[in-house]
Chain A
Amino acid sequence: MKKSIYKIGTLVLAIVLTTMSCSKLEDFGSTNVNPAATNKPITSALLTNVLSGFGDLANMRVTALYCQYFSETQYPDVSNYSANTASPMGTYSGYLYDLQNIIITNTAEDTKATAALNGANANQIAIARILKAFIFQRMTDRWGDIPYSQALKGDPNVAFDTQESIYKDLLKELTEAVAQVTAGAPIKGDIAYNGDMTKWKKLANSMRMIMALRLSKKYPGASDYAATQFKAALNDPAGSIATNADNFKLEYPGSAFKNPFYNMYDGRKDYGESETMTTLLNSLGSDARQAVFGATSSGAATTKGVPYGRARTFIDPWTGQNPDYAYVFAPAYRTQTSPIFIVKASTILLSRAEAADRGWTSESTATLYTAGINASFEQWGLALPPAAYFANANIALGAAGTNLPQIAKQAYVAYFPDGCSGWANWRRTGIPALTPAPDATNNPKVIPRRFMYGTSDYTLAKAGVEAAVARLAGGDKMDSKVWWDQ
Chain B
Amino acid sequence: MMLFNLKLFYMKKIALLLAFFAIGLQALVAQTREISGKVTSVDDGGSIPGVSVSVKGTTLGTITDMEGVFRLKVPQDAKTLVFSFVGMTTQEVTLTGASSYSVTLESEVVKVQEVIVTSGYGIKRAPKSSSALNQVVTADKLTVVRQTNVNNAIAGKVSGIQFQGQSAAALGRTGNIRLRGDGGFSTGSGVLYVVDGTVLPNSNDINMDDIEDISVLSGPSAAAILGSQGANGAIIITTKRAKMNARQTMDVEINSGFLASSIYIMPNYQNDYAGGNVQDMYRYSYKSTDPVEWKTLDGKYYPDYSDDASWGPRMAGQEYIPWYSWYPGSKYTGTTTALVPQPTNSRDFFDTGLTYNNSVAISKASEGFNFRAVIGNISVKGLLPQTTLNKTTFTVKTTYDINKNLTFGANVNFFTTSTQGEFDDGYSNQSTGSFNQWFHRNLDMNKMKELKDLRTPDGIWASWNHNNPTSYDPNNTKPFYAGNYWYNFYKWFDLVKIPSRADRLFGDISLNYKIMDGLSVKATYRRQQNNTWAEAMYSSDLMDSGTQTTGNSPEAKGYYSTSTSYSTRENIESLVSYTKTFNDFKVNANLGTDFFSSVYKYNAAQTVNGLNIKNLYLITNSKDQPRISNDRYNEKYRAAFARGDVGYKDFLFAEFTLRNDWYSVLPSDNNSILSKSFGGSFVFSDLLELSWLNFGKVRASWGEIPTAIGVYSYPGFAYGVGANQWNGNFLMSTPDQLVDPNIRGAVKTQKELGLELRFFESKAGITATFWDGSENDIPYAISIANYSGFGSKYLNTGKILKQGVDLALNLKPVNFSNFSWDFNATFAYLMKMDIERIAEGVERFTVQGQWTTATGESRSGTPVMVHAVGHAWGEIFGAGKTIDEATGLPLLTSDGYYVSDKNKYFGNVLPKVTGGVQNTFKIMKDFTLTMNFDYQFGGKFFSLSDMWGTYSGLTAKTSGLNDLGNPIRDAVANGGGIHVFGVDQTTRKPVDMYVEAQSYWHGTYDNQYYDEYVHDLTYIKLRELSIGYNVPVNRIGLNKYAQSVNISLIAQNPWLIYAKTKDFDPSEISRAGGETGQLPGVRSFGANIKINF
Q: Are B634 and A85 in contact (CB under 8 A)?
A: no
A75-91 vs B, CB cutoff 8 Å, 1 = contact: the mask equals 00100101101110111
Those of B688-739 within 8 Å (CB) of chain A:
711-712, 714-715, 717-727, 729-734, 736, 738
Q: Is the CB of A443 within 8 A of B470?
A: no
Pairwise interchain contact A46-B732, C-beta atoms closer than 8 A:
yes
With A455-B858, A459-B844 as known contacts, state yes or no: A93 contacts B790, CB within 8 Å. yes
Selected from B554, B593, B631, the residue in CB contact (under 8 A) with A19 is B593
Residues of A within 8 A of B636 (CB): 28, 31
20 contacts between A and B (CB under 8 A): A12-B523, A12-B576, A19-B593, A36-B631, A42-B732, A45-B732, A83-B900, A86-B853, A90-B786, A97-B790, A256-B726, A267-B551, A311-B999, A312-B277, A313-B311, A317-B304, A441-B897, A455-B861, A455-B903, A459-B843
Q: Does B359 contact A (CB under 8 A)?
A: no
B665 cross-chain contacts in A, Cβ below 8 A: 32
Selected contact of A256 from candidates B521, B624, B668, B841, CB within 8 Å: B624
* Interchain CB contact under 8 A, B732 and A93: no
* Residue of B523, B902, B1003 with highest tally of chain A CB at under 10 A: B902
Whole-angstrom distance between the Cβ of B914 and the nearest chain A Cβ: 29
Q: Which of chain A's residues have a CB closer than 8 A to the CB of B893?
A: 443
What is the bound-complex CA distance between A28 and B479, given in angstroms? 62
CB distance from A306 to the nearest CB of B (A): 15
Q: Which residues from chain B contact A108 at a C-beta distance below 8 Å? A: none
The interface residues of chain A lying within 8 Å CB-to-CB of B20 are none
The CA of A307 and the CA of B790, in the complex, are separated in Å by 42
Q: Is there a chain A Cβ closer than 8 Å to B30's Cβ?
A: no
- A77 & B470 in contact (Cβ 8 Å cutoff): no
- Residues of A near B1041 (CB, < 8 A) are none
A313 adjacent to B857 (CB under 8 Å): no
- Kindly report which residue of chain A lies nearest to residue B736, judged by CB atoms: A93
Interface residues of B (CB under 8 A from A): 4, 8, 277-278, 304, 306-307, 311, 405, 467-468, 470-471, 476, 479, 513, 515-516, 519, 521, 523, 547-552, 554, 557, 574, 576, 591-593, 595, 608-609, 624-625, 630-636, 638, 640, 662, 664-665, 668, 671-672, 711-712, 714-715, 717-727, 729-734, 736, 738, 783-791, 793, 841-846, 853, 855, 857-858, 860-861, 864, 866, 879, 893-895, 897, 900, 902-903, 985, 998-999, 1002-1003, 1005-1008
Q: Determine the chain B residues whose CB is within 8 A of the CB of A457 once the complex forms.
A: 785
Residues of chain B within 8 A (CB-CB) of A26 are 662, 668, 671-672
Q: Say yes or no: A27 contacts B718, CB within 8 Å.
A: no
Structural contact, B734 and A28, CB atoms closer than 8 A: no
CB–CB A460/B842 < 8 A: yes
| Docked complex Cα distance between A15 and B592 (Å) | 11
User: What A residues does B729 contact at CB under 8 A?
Assistant: 44-45, 48, 188-189, 191
Kindly state the separation between the CA atoms of A124 and B664 in the bound complex, as whole angstroms.
38
Taking CB atoms and an 8 Å cut-off, the chain A residues in 447-486 that contact chain B are: 454-462, 464
Q: Does A113 contact B (CB under 8 A)?
A: no
Neighbour of A443 across the interface among B730, B789, B895, B999, CB < 8 A: B895
Apart from the given pairs A82-B1007, A92-B787, A93-B788, 14 other A-B contacts in the complex at a CB distance below 8 Å: A1-B8, A5-B405, A5-B515, A9-B519, A12-B513, A16-B592, A85-B861, A97-B789, A268-B548, A316-B277, A320-B467, A323-B479, A443-B894, A459-B843
Q: Are B788 and A153 in contact (CB under 8 A)?
A: yes
Is A49's CB under 8 angstroms from B625's CB? no
Given A83-B1007, A256-B624, A316 and B857 contact (CB-CB distance below 8 Å): no
The size class of the interface chain A forms with chain B is 35 or more
- A292 in the interface (beta carbon within 8 A): no
**Known contacts A37-B718, A45-B729, A151 near B672 by CB under 8 Å:** no
When A and B form their complex, which 5 residue pairs have the shortest distance between CB atoms, in order from nearest? A37-B718, A256-B724, A268-B551, A267-B551, A45-B732
Q: Return chain B residues, CB-CB under 8 Å to A147.
A: 785, 787
Contact among A89, A100, A443 for B786, CB-based, below 8 A: A89
Residues of A within 8 A of B547 (CB): 269
Q: Which residues of B sit under 8 angstroms from A254, Cβ to Cβ?
A: 624
Report Cα–Cα, A428/B470, bound state, in Å. Answer: 43
Would you give the shortest CB distance from A38 to chain B, in whole angstroms?
A: 5
Contact across chains for A267 and B550 when beta carbons are under 8 A apart: yes
CB <8 Å contact, A90 and B855: yes
Kindly provide the distance from the CB of B622 to the nearest chain A CB, expressed in whole angstroms: 9
The answer to the question of A114 belonging to the interface, with a C-beta cut-off of 8 Å to chain B, is no
For A4-46 the 0/1 string (1 means CB < 8 A from B) is: 1110110011011001100001111001101111111110111
CA distance A392 to B595 in the complex (A): 85
CA distance A317 to B630 in the complex (A): 47
* Known A32-B714, A41-B732: A458·B902 in contact at CB below 8 Å: yes
The smallest beta-carbon distance between A108 and chain B, in angstroms, is 13
Shortest distance in angstroms between A13's beta carbon and chain B's nearest beta carbon? 7
CB <8 Å contact, B902 and A320:
no
B1006-A83 in contact (CB<8A): yes
Rounded to whole angstroms, the CA-CA distance of A44 and B731 in the bound complex is 8
Q: Are A41 and B576 in contact (CB under 8 A)?
A: no
Q: How far is the CB of A281 from chain B (nearest CB, A)?
A: 26
- Closest chain B residue, CB of each to CB of A146: B787
Shortest B656–chain A CB gap in Å is: 17
User: B608 near A4 (CB under 8 angstroms)?
Assistant: no
Q: Does A155 contact B (CB under 8 A)?
A: yes
Q: Are B720 and A152 in contact (CB under 8 A)?
A: no
Q: How many A-B residue pairs have CB under 8 A?
A: 295
Closest Cβ–Cβ distance, residue A428 to chain B (whole Å) = 27
Q: Tell me the complex Cα distance, A386–B855, Å.
A: 48
Cα distance A150–B903 in the bound complex, in angstroms: 27
Q: Closest CB of chain B to A342's CB: distance in Å? A: 15
Q: Which of B718, B879, B897 has the most CB of A within 10 A?
A: B718
A residues less than 8 Å from B470 (CB atoms): 320-321, 323
Pairwise interchain contact A49-B722, C-beta atoms closer than 8 A: yes
- Given A49-B733, A312-B277, A443–B897 Cβ distance below 8 Å? yes
* A355 is an interface residue with CB less than 8 A from chain B: no
In the assembled complex, A233 has its CB within 8 A of some CB on chain B? no
Residues in chain B near residue A256, CB distance under 8 A: 608, 624-625, 723-726
**A96, B608: Cβ atoms closer than 8 Å:** no
B631: chain A residues at CB < 8 Å are 36
A92 touching B786 in the complex, CB below 8 Å, given contacts A36-B631, A87-B857, A460-B842 = yes
CA distance A312 to B721 in the complex (A): 43
B711 to A, closest residue via Cβ: A32
Tell me if B548 and A269 are in contact (CB < 8 A): yes
Give chain B residues whose Cβ lies under 8 Å from the Cβ of A188: 729
A92 near B903 with CB under 8 A, answer no
Partner of A153 from B725, B736, B789, B894 at Cβ < 8 Å: B789
CB neighbours of B788 from chain A (8 A): 92-93, 151-156, 158
What is the bound-complex CA distance between A258 and B664, given in angstroms? Answer: 43
A98 interface contact, C-beta 8 A:
yes
Quick one: given A13-B576, A46-B734, are A455 and B857 in contact (CB under 8 Å)? yes
Q: Are the C-beta atoms of A441 and B1003 separated by less than 8 Å?
A: yes
CB distance from A278 to the nearest CB of B (A): 21
B777 → chain A closest CB, angstroms: 19
Give Cα distance in the complex from A155 to B999, angstroms.
Answer: 44
Q: Are B724 and A455 in contact (CB under 8 A)?
A: no
Instruction: Note all chain B residues with C-beta closer than 8 A to A150.
Output: 787
Shortest Cβ distance from residue A226 to the other chain B in the assembled complex, whole angstroms: 28
Which chain A residue has the least Cβ–Cβ distance from B547? A269
A459 to B638, CA, bound (A): 40
- Contact residues in A for B519 (Cβ distance below 8 Å): 9
Bound-complex Cα distance A20 to B662 (A): 11
- Name the one of A36, A91, A297 contacting B720, with C-beta atoms under 8 angstroms: A36
Contacts of B734 in A (CB 8 A): 41, 46, 97-98, 101
Cβ contact of B730, chosen from A45, A91, A157, cutoff 8 A:
A45
The interface residues of chain B lying within 8 Å CB-to-CB of A15 are: 574
The residue of chain A having its C-beta at the shortest distance from the C-beta of B305 within the complex is A320
A4 to B721, alpha carbons, bound, how many Å?
A: 61
| Contacting pair B664 A156 (CB below 8 A) | no
CA distance A313 to B516 in the complex (A): 86
A321 to B470, CA, bound (A): 6
